[in-house]
Structure formats: structure tokens, C-alpha cells
Amino acid sequence: MLEKKSMYLDELMPLIREQLYSGASVRIYPRGVSMLPMIREGEDSVVISSLPSELKKYDVILYQRRNGQYVLHRLIKIGESYTFLGDHQFIAERGIERDQLIAKVSLLYRGERAVSVDKFSYKIFCRLWCFTRPMRRLCNFSVSFVKRIVNKIIRSAKS
């Protein structure tokens, strides 16, 4: 199934790049759960625009991995290369080069309500969400641990 999605985007990418290079923006409907809760598959869409000369931490960028897969993730570190992380993930993707970057999200649609990525409340939410990542990871681990114990107890009781 992933191959079909990728093939479809591969077919559209020349047209998307042409639009971006001409200065136009393109509205896309991301798939997957890696950007939850910010982008919900089937409910939200984003408008992508050409890359600015200078990227900023917390920008959401469309890029292409070396294996050809297209990814829409948040920029969390800028150095000799870029580091990205999906809002719903805990392991960062390091070593992304400038030539892999395609576009920047300039507008988010929550359903049909437009939310500017320049809006103060959006910026605060993004920073808080990234700041709380270690705590969210600990919470996820704790919940998973408790679920395993409860399941063991239930299985033991049934035996």
C-alpha cells in the first residue's frame, strides 16, 4: 500500500515542483499518523510553498528521503544538515540535506478552517508540543508497561 501512495506522489511531483518553482502554492492532503495531533489524515490538509532561503526551527517541511519516500515532518535542528521529527514520533531523522527539501508548509487546514503557521497560538502550540516530547515518551512507556501488567493478570486469572 505504501508503494501505491509513493507512486502516486511520484507521478504528481513534477507538476507540484513546477507549481512551486513558478511561485504558486499547492494544497496537499497528507497521509499517515506521524504528524498527529497537528495533521490528521483524512481531515486536514496543508498548503505548501517554495522554500525560503532561510529555514527556521519548527517549520514543517516536505522532503524526499534518499530511498525516494516523501515525508512531511517538523524541522527540529539546523546544522550542517537538518534533523526532522514527526509530531507523533520520538526518533529524529538526522542527516537530511538541503537538496532533499522540497517545500514548506505555509498554511494548515483543520477541516476547512485555515490556520496560519505564522499565528502566535500555532507557534506556541508547536514549541510546547516539542518541549513536552520527553515527558510524552515517558507517559507512553508508563501506559504501555501498565497495560502489559494488566494483560498478564487477566491471562493468569483466565487460566
Concatenating the DSSP letter of every residue in 131-151 gives: HTHHHHHHHHHHHHHHHHHHH
Q: Which of the four pLDDT bands, split at 50, 70 and 90, describes residue 2? A: very low
More confident position, 9 or 34: 34
Alpha carbons 126 and 113: distance in angstroms, whole number: 18
Evaluate if residue 93 carries a pLDDT over 90.
yes
Evaluate if residue 4 carries a pLDDT over 60.
no
Nine-digit cell string for 60: 514543517
Nine-digit cell string for 79: 546544522
pLDDT value, residue 106: 97
Residue 45 CA, chain-centre distance (Å), reads 12
Alpha carbons 42 and 115: distance in angstroms, whole number: 17
What's the chain's average pLDDT? Answer: 90
Mean pLDDT score, 106-126: 94
Mean pLDDT score, 39-53: 95
- Burial bucket for residue 100 (CB in 10 Å: 0-12, 13-18, 19+): middle
Nine-digit cell string for 75: 524541522
Q: Which of the four pLDDT bands, split at 50, 70 and 90, describes residue 3? A: very low
Alpha carbons 108 and 45: distance in angstroms, whole number: 6
pTM: 0.82
Contact assessment for residue 74 and residue 85, using Cβ atoms and an 8 Å cutoff: yes
Evaluate if residue 8 carries a pLDDT over 80.
no
| 118: CB partners within 8 A, 6+ apart | none
Contact assessment for residue 5 and residue 31, using Cβ atoms and an 8 Å cutoff: yes
Alpha carbons 97 and 64: distance in angstroms, whole number: 10
CATH number assigned to the domain with residue range 2-133, chosen from the 4 options 3.20.20.140, 3.40.1350.10, 2.10.109.10, 1.20.120.1200: 2.10.109.10
